[in-house]
Amino acid sequence: MEYQLREEGKFKYIETEGKGETLMLLHGLFGALSNFQGIINHFAKTHNVVVPMLPIFDLPIRKVGLGGLVDHVIDFVAYKKYGKVNVLGNSLGGHVSLLYALAKPEQIRSITLTGSSGLFENSLGSTFPKRGNYEFIKNKTEDIFHNKEVATKELVDEVFTTVNDRNKAIRIIACAKSAVRHNLGDKLYQIKAPTLLIWGKEDTVTPKFVGEKFNELIDNSQLFIVDECGHAPMMERPEVFNHILDDFFAELANRKETA
């Protein structure tokens, strides 16, 4: 099912209005709604799935970075008057999820990270010297996945168009540099919410050892490694991903009932 992108003030988002708890999905640097389609379809009825579009290309340039994105998420949740949320982030969206959880721990029901930045990450780089080279961008996009076929022409075209827009390229570089500056290694002990880590075994952007380090530093966390999978398990192995997430939510529900 397709959901209409809503625009209300400074916020752009989709929302399924399911009957359960709120599941907020935060996309990465090159993220789009299509990245989360498998999650949205699977959880649309059991959860209120909401995907706020992070204003990477809309914020004033002086505010572009993780701080501005976290402020936007804080304002969005307050605007929507959500109670506690289950927050799920991929790549840069995972980084934003962690910073949001550190800033607003009272509003976090659970955290799910997949291929999250925050400790170590490779990327397209801090500059785009070959941004006019379609084949270069195609290869870089394919490198995100273990199964190269997941990098469809539509996805490659979208990345190519983005990095060849000078204004967008500058903002992507600013966000990438901000992610490096906001290393969370000395702050993760503060995370107390139940945390699920789903990592692709063949992830080359945030390699498997990054997931293992998050698992070590976040006390109440559990790590699942997905075989034959790269940086975006929810796209590349959606059935496996959703099964792990289903079990996690069932465990949380059982804890709540027991309490």
Q: How many domains is the chain partitioned into structurally?
A: 1
User: How do 85-90 and 11-15 pair as beta strands?
Assistant: unpaired
Residuewise pLDDT in 10s, the chain (259 residues): 678 899 999 999 999 998 899 999 999 888 777 889 999 999 999 999 999 999 998 888 888 899 999 999 999 999 999 999 999 999 999 999 999 999 999 999 999 999 999 999 886 444 454 667 899 889 888 999 999 999 999 999 988 888 888 888 889 888 888 988 899 999 999 999 999 999 999 999 999 999 999 999 999 999 999 999 999 999 999 999 999 999 999 999 988 767 6
Domain presence at residue 147: no
Structure tokens given for 232: 């975006």
Q: What is the pTM of this model?
A: 0.93
Domain presence at residue 23: yes
Domain presence at residue 142: no
Give backbone dihedrals phi and psi of 23, rounded to 5 degrees, phi first: -115, 110
Domain presence at residue 195: yes
Domain presence at residue 215: yes
Domain presence at residue 224: yes
Please give the sequence-ordered ranges of beta strands (E in DSSP) within the chain, or none if there are none.
Answer: 6-8, 11-15, 22-26, 48-52, 85-90, 108-114, 195-200, 221-226
Q: Compute the mean pLDDT over every residue in the chain, rounded to the nearest whole number.
A: 92
Domain containing residue 119: 6-123+183-258
Residues with Cβ within 8 Å of residue 255, at least 6 apart in sequence = 194
CATH of the domain at 104: 3.40.50.1820
Other C-beta atoms within 10 Å of 243: how many?
13
Structure tokens given for 173: 């570089």
**Measured distance CA(74)–CA(49) in Å, rounded:** 17
Closest CA to 213 of 144, 146, 120: 120
Which amino acid is it at 220? N
Which amino acid is it at 232? A
Domain presence at residue 173: no
Tens of pLDDT, residues 16-51: 998 899 999 999 888 777 889 999 999 999 999 999
Domain presence at residue 191: yes
Tens of pLDDT, residues 205-236: 999 999 999 999 999 999 999 999 999 999 99
